[in-house]
Amino acid sequence: MSFLHEPIAAEQLFANHQKRIELVRQCANETTEAEFARKWLAVLRRTATWFSSMPLTPELHCEPGGAFRATIESTFYAMRLAGGQKFAADLTSDKRRTLEPQYNYAVFLATACSLLDEPFRHFEFIRQSDRATWNPAADGAFVAWIGAAPYSVVRRVMPLKNERVRTAMIAQTVITPELLAGMDTAVHSDLFNAINPERSPQGFEALVHKVVRQAMDVAVDFERKAQRAVFAPVKFDVPSAVHVALALEPQFVTPESEPTPAASPEAAVATQPATAATPLSAAAPVNSPAIEVLPQKAVSAAPSNEAQVVPSAGPQLSQPLLDALAAAAIPPATANNATAPRPAAVDPAAAGAQSRSNASPSGPTDEQLNEILGPGAAMMKEFFKALAGDVASGKAKVVWEGKGLAVQKRLVGAYGMTSDTLVEQLKKRSLLLRAHGTDICIVERAGRLISERSTA
């Protein structure tokens, strides 16, 4: 008896992959939410309606809903790859600035439609109510055909041949004519040619086709690594000295209370044999950080009714730890408070939050970015934040000139944005002084978001 599958609504798929959709939103860089919903979310919603709870292949993205997950991951990788490419490089700068957004959107559309035919190639989907088999060419979207009825999935003995024409025909249900309106003819041609790209192209390969093919290869590679649990090492930041000191905080030993002067002589005499019978080394380890051992002469000279161990001045912490504790407002133990009760425990998270609040921010705030760059412009905000952080840490270098901040063009590409795109976005906001040679000069009010200008 085969396992029965239940369809998944598009809203549920969106809720399951909300974080991945947010990554696509960042790459889309739309100015308004309505425009993002019309051009990008509508396409993803139609792919969710097409796939429902289908797996992609028996080996990759094989869980219920895996086909839709593979689509979102592929589109995100494609958008990231497209951000570092220069489309229509043989045209003038003005024409290229006009076509570049169209090519980026064409990459998204082609990638979103490239996997529509993949589940049908590997599986047969059988509706349990009438034992009918789904045929995408005749039945259309899977959700409209299956409704809420359960279905079974049967793996084909041999996968069907990869037909690019069949995939392009199915893509008509996802790409509506209104999305193609306003696109250049050359962009249309590259878009249709890149849907379900050839895995091993021969001869000339258009740039859109290349980006879509590489994005799908990256998605497959990451999925295989995830199945084998092969991940890149995670680079953790070195913990601060405050956290280390708190983790190694010594356990203070509270000394026993001294006998009161009003105690009877018999009680004092009764305690002397017990104290003498206990070796000094057994009473307290010599290396204990919280108490010190008196010399033998001092012990013999001390009155018998006094304790033979004296609390020390506290743990001997190194100077860097003392400095870190002082910065975090945590007083170290001193000789004056040796007999005081053990200080209250300090929450490391609270100490870290306090130190972070006292430290100066390493990048611009959201309010400053909104004031200079305006609402939206997610890609520009991420660029300014990342560059400001690298400048503060010394990883990147910028130079202040007479009226603005100079950023090298070759430095811009490391942040997922081409220099032409940065120039265009700065021009729209009147934040560009010049863009000649190898530098891009940003006006002073925007440059201060990246690096404060020296008053010297």
| Chain segment 65-79, per-residue pLDDT in tens | 899 999 999 999 999
Distance CA 309, CA 183 (A): 87
Contacts of 70-74 with CB under 8 Å at 24 or more apart are: 70/115, 70/219, 70/223, 71/44, 71/47, 71/111, 71/112, 71/115, 72/17, 72/20, 72/21, 72/24, 72/44, 73/20, 73/219, 73/222, 74/111, 74/112, 74/114, 74/115, 74/215, 74/216, 74/219
At 122 the pLDDT is: 92
pLDDT at 337 over 50: no
Task: Annotate 314-373 with three-state secondary structure.
Answer: CCCCCHHHHHHHHHCCCCCCCCCCCCCCCCCCCCHHHHHHHHHHHCCCCCCCHHHHHHHH
Domains of the chain, earliest start first: 4-227 (1.10.3210.40), 366-447 (1.10.10)
Q: What percent of the chain has pLDDT over 90?
A: 9
- Chain centroid offset of residue 305 CA: 64
Give the angle subtended at the CA of 302 by the CAs of 301 and 306, to the nearest 5°.
165
Give residue 315's pLDDT band: very low, low, confident or very high (50, 70, 90).
low
Three-class DSSP category at 404:
strand
Task: Say which range, 233-237, 316-320, 409-413, 444-448, has the weakest mean pLDDT.
Answer: 233-237
Q: Which helix (H) or strand (E) holds 442?
A: strand 439-443
Average pLDDT over residues 73-89: 87
At 74 the pLDDT is: 92
CA distances from residue 3 to 32, 126, 151 in whole angstroms, order as listed: 44, 11, 9
Average pLDDT over residues 147-172: 88
Q: Which helix (H) or strand (E) holds 46?
A: helix 42-51
Distance CA 85, CA 75 (A): 15
- What is the pTM assigned to this prediction? 0.52
At 3 the pLDDT is: 75
Sign of the dihedral defined by the CA atoms of residues 23, 29, 32, 38, in that order: negative
Task: Say which range, 36-40, 272-276, 363-367, has the weakest mean pLDDT.
Answer: 272-276
| Cβ within 8 Å of residue 40, ≥6 positions away | 24, 25, 28, 30, 108
At 62 the pLDDT is: 87
Give the angle subtended at the CA of 341 by the CAs of 340 and 343, to the nearest 5°.
105
Distance CA 25, CA 40 (A): 8
Distance CA 391, CA 409 (A): 15
Expressed in angstroms, the distance from the first to the final Cα of the chain is 80
| Residue that has been written with the tokens 């050359």 in this structure | 186
| Chain segment 412-451, per-residue pLDDT in tens | 888 878 888 888 888 888 888 888 778 899 988 888 889 8
At 335 the pLDDT is: 40
Distance CA 277, CA 293 (A): 17
What is the chain's mean pLDDT, rounded?
A: 76
CA distances from residue 72 to 61, 241, 274, 300, 323 in whole angstroms, order as listed: 12, 42, 76, 81, 49
